[in-house]
Amino acid sequence: MPLTSPPPAADEQERARVQRRTLRAVVLAQVLGGAGLAAGVTVGALLAQEMLGTEGLAGLPTALFTLGSALTAYLVGRVSQRAGRRVGLGLGFLAGGAGAAGVVVAAAVDSVPLLLVALLVYGAGTATNLQARYAGTDLAAPAARGKAISVALVSTTVGAVAGPNLVEPLGDLATGLGLPALAGPFLLAAVAYTAAGAALFALLRPDPLLLARRLDAATATRSVAAGATGPAAPTGRPRPGRGAYVGATVMVLTQVTMVAIMTMTPVHMRHHHHGLGDVGMVIGLHIAAMYLPSPLTGLLVDRLGRTAVAAASGAVLLAAGVTAAVAPGDSLPLTVLALVLLGLGWNLGLISGTALVVDATTTADRPRVQGSIDVLVALSGAAGGVLSGVVVDAAGFAALSLGGGVLALALVPVLAWARPRAAV
């Protein structure tokens, strides 16, 4: 009986060819997206403190754009499920660009309500930047998924590190345009996110998710034609494997710890008379540690297993929290060390958790499940951002840092409990 689907060799050639093209498109978008997300991380809390006139609400910007990230993660997941990665990710980045432009306008007219709405929309860029890592895995072989995730994440480093270190020149540019200096990084974010969306619309062809579904269907058709037997196909909506829940837990705990400590570090530094240049350098190195180790982390995830790397992330985040708690406020080197460890711990947790989720899902339900999990991750970050200002106001930066580190260490017993039942 002749088959209408391509032979397996042709399928694998097409998969490999499109995977290479997909990774190139994702790399370009992540470079641009990294520059966009750096604005909120670096000066969001400072801008809110300046416009709201209180430190207790300094964590509000992080909470808002993380809340917007949660909503966008859900929407991008649903749109990608129906129309593919190109449409879902492209629209997400464009929304982030519109939000960044709104922040600039809010700062120019000193409108707090507009600032709050714009920060919410700006969060779309953060969510999309993270969701793009999944696009690199749709066509990747299971043994190379950690590597594929790492390629997407490490590409973010270029823009994400450059952004914070451009705080002062971007501030000068904004001042020259008659805008507040802290609006400068959001000018860059508006351009960068918009360009990332345009790049994905233009270059992510064919769509990796839609192609993966077609190739999977062709493989199933050949199996039936050849008389292959196996377990009956499930009916109704596919359910993710247990590893998806383990991966979600890993990403949630690492996100809470990272966002809480990172959000209040610029405010803590300003209290101890560090300039904007120092703040930009510390956050830039932190973001470098979040993304630059990705190739090594991806290799470790593929070679040592997902749960081993996730457990390591808990230990590194604890070290970050302890270092931040004991470091004198005027010690720039120890602050750098704490934030670098914080970024590294987050990187280990994100890549290992993402790999667990991808392993436990299929192309039929992957975007929907991934979007739902990223909603939880974003909401946990929003909670961390909001509570960070409250905790620092009530108990100090050291208490916040130590508490975050201890929370991250909870990963170890969770993984020990789940290890016999989760794929590694």
- The predicted-structure confidence for 254-291, as pLDDT tens digits, reads as follows 999 998 898 888 888 878 778 777 887 888 788 889 88
> In the structure encoding, which two tokens stand for residue 308, read together?
């081993």
Instruction: Please determine, for residue 394, whether its predicted confidence score (pLDDT) is greater than 80.
Output: yes
Which pLDDT band holds residue 315 (cuts at 50, 70, 90)? Answer: very high
Rg of the chain's alpha carbons, rounded to an integer?
Answer: 21
CB half-sphere exposure, 44, CA atoms < 13 A: 34
What are the pLDDT digits (tens) for 320-347?
A: 999 989 888 888 889 999 999 999 999 9
Between the CA of residue 383 and those of 155, 337, 376, what are the distances in Å? 28, 25, 11
Q: At 94, is the pLDDT very low, low, confident or very high (cuts 50, 70, 90)?
A: very high
What letter does residue 179 receive in the DSSP assignment? S
User: Percent of the chain, pLDDT > 90?
Assistant: 29
pLDDT at 292 exceeding the cut of 60: yes
Q: Are 345 and 257 spatial neighbours (Cβ–Cβ below 8 Å)?
A: yes
| CA dist., res. 100 & res. 105, Å (int) | 9
Which of 391, 358, 395 minimizes the C-alpha distance to 374? Answer: 358
**Identity of the highest mean pLDDT range in 206-220, 222-236, 298-312, 364-378:** 298-312
Evaluate whether 72 touches 123 at the Cβ level (below 8 Å): yes
Compute the mean pLDDT over every residue in the chain, rounded to the nearest whole number: 83
Residue with the two structure tokens 């997909």: 22
Q: How far apart are CA 312 and CA 408, in angstroms?
A: 10
Distance between CA 131 and CA 95 in Å, rounded? 14
Contact 35, 192 (CB under 8 A): yes
- Structure token digits, residue 166: 């451009």
Q: For 50-54, 143-147, 152-156, 176-180, which range has the lowest pLDDT when averaged over its residues?
A: 50-54
Task: Rounding to the nearest 10 degrees, give the CA dihedral for residues 197, 75, 155, 346.
Answer: 150
Q: Which one-letter DSSP state was computed for residue 183?
A: G
Going along the chain from its start, the domains and CATH numbers come out as 8-224+240-418 (1.20.1250.20)
Higher pLDDT, 364 or 326: 326
Cα–Cα distance for residue pair 140/216, rounded to 1 Å: 13
For residue 230, the model assigns a pLDDT of 47
Burial 70-82 (b: 16+ CB within 10 A, else e): bbbbbbbbebbbe
Reading the block at residue 367, the tokens are: 């975007």
pLDDT digits (tens, 9 = 90+) for 114-149: 988 998 899 899 889 888 888 888 888 888 888 888
Question: Does the pLDDT value for residue 422 go beyond 50?
Answer: no
The CA distance from 322 to 333, in Å, is: 15
